[in-house]
Amino acid sequence: MSRNYTPITPELAQYVRDITLREPPALRKLREETENHPQASCQIAPEQGQFLQLLARLTGARRTVEVGVFMGYSSTWVALALPPGGKLIACDRSEEFTARARQTWREAGVEDRIELRLAPALETLDGMIAAGQAGAFDLAFIDADKANYANYYERALVLLRQGGLVVADNVLWHGKVADPTVHEADAEAIRAFNRKLHEDPRVAISLATMGDGSLLAFKL
């Protein structure tokens, strides 16, 4: 153990990937195809995907929800951890990007475990709550527009059972959250979100610093 962070050089990051990553072929194909996509930063790092899958296994997840699908990388990782009969509700509003997600789900053999809801995510989440699904979910992953992170989080807490887990991506926002000279809207939104969770007595929290940072909130 150490009280200090080990600096992650490109060489060390590659070493970590080489000795830990077990990326399924369908996901490796998607990652390589989208490496130079103009919005490639919307996709989580492979280590984060594998971490999400581990969290799904550790929580014994059967029902999960994802806010922000992009091309299906993270949802595929999680769906691969679900048992028979498990379900992931995938919330997004882009038909273009989710068409590629559907292809990945098919190639990975998890299409039957994922239900895509094409609509503004807040509408979908509110509809699920209104339909009596409060407390019915085990894991929620948030990776969408930063201005609504707090709103997605509140809905996720309602949908999660006690002992369920919220995972929110990009909470380091490329390091800008720690730079007091940066006042762009997304950085401010993430700062406010991080403070909100730090002060929220309803959850236990921890921050995993891989990728752009994932904040974990365990519902007490």
Percentage of the chain modeled with pLDDT above 90: 89
Beta bridge partners of 101: none
pLDDT at 42: 67
Q: Give the CA-trace dihedral at 106, 108, 111, 114, to 10 degrees.
A: -140
Helix (H, G, I), strand (E, B) or coil at 212: coil
pLDDT in tens, 90-146: 999 999 999 999 999 999 999 999 999 999 999 999 999 999 999 999 999 999 999
* Cα gap 95→97, rounded to integer Å: 6
Over residues 2-15, mean pLDDT: 87
- Residue, of 159 and 210, whose pLDDT is higher: 159
The residues that bridge with 207 in the sheet, in sequence order, are 215
- Across all residues in the chain, what is the average pLDDT? 95
Q: Using an 8 Å Cβ cutoff, are 18 and 46 in contact?
A: no
Q: Which two tokens stand for residue 186?
A: 């997304």
Domain ranges of the chain: 10-219
Structure tokens at 161: 């059972």
Q: Give the pLDDT score at 51.
A: 97
The string of DSSP letters for 78-96 reads HHTTPPTT-EEEEEE--HH
- Could you tell me where the DSSP H helices lie in the chain? 10-20, 25-33, 46-58, 73-79, 95-108, 121-130, 149-159, 185-198
Mean pLDDT of 68-93: 96
Both tokens of 110, joined, read: 């998890």
Domain spanning 10-219: which CATH class is it, in words?
Answer: alpha beta
Reported as a pLDDT band with limits 50, 70 and 90, residue 41 is: low
| Bridge partners, residue 206, by sequence | 216
pLDDT for the residue numbered 35:
78
CB 55 within 8 A of CB 80: no
Quick check: 36 pLDDT over 90?
Answer: no
> Rounded to the nearest 10 degrees, how much is the dihedral formed by the CA atoms of 51, 55, 57, 62?
-120
pLDDT tens per residue, range 153-183: 999 999 999 999 999 999 999 999 999 999 9
Helix H or strand E encompassing 31: helix 25-33
pLDDT (mean) for 36-47: 77
Using 50, 70 and 90 to split pLDDT, how confident is the model at 69? very high
The mean per-residue pLDDT over the stretch 28-47 comes to 82
Check residue 40 and give its pLDDT: 56
154: its two tokens: 């509140």
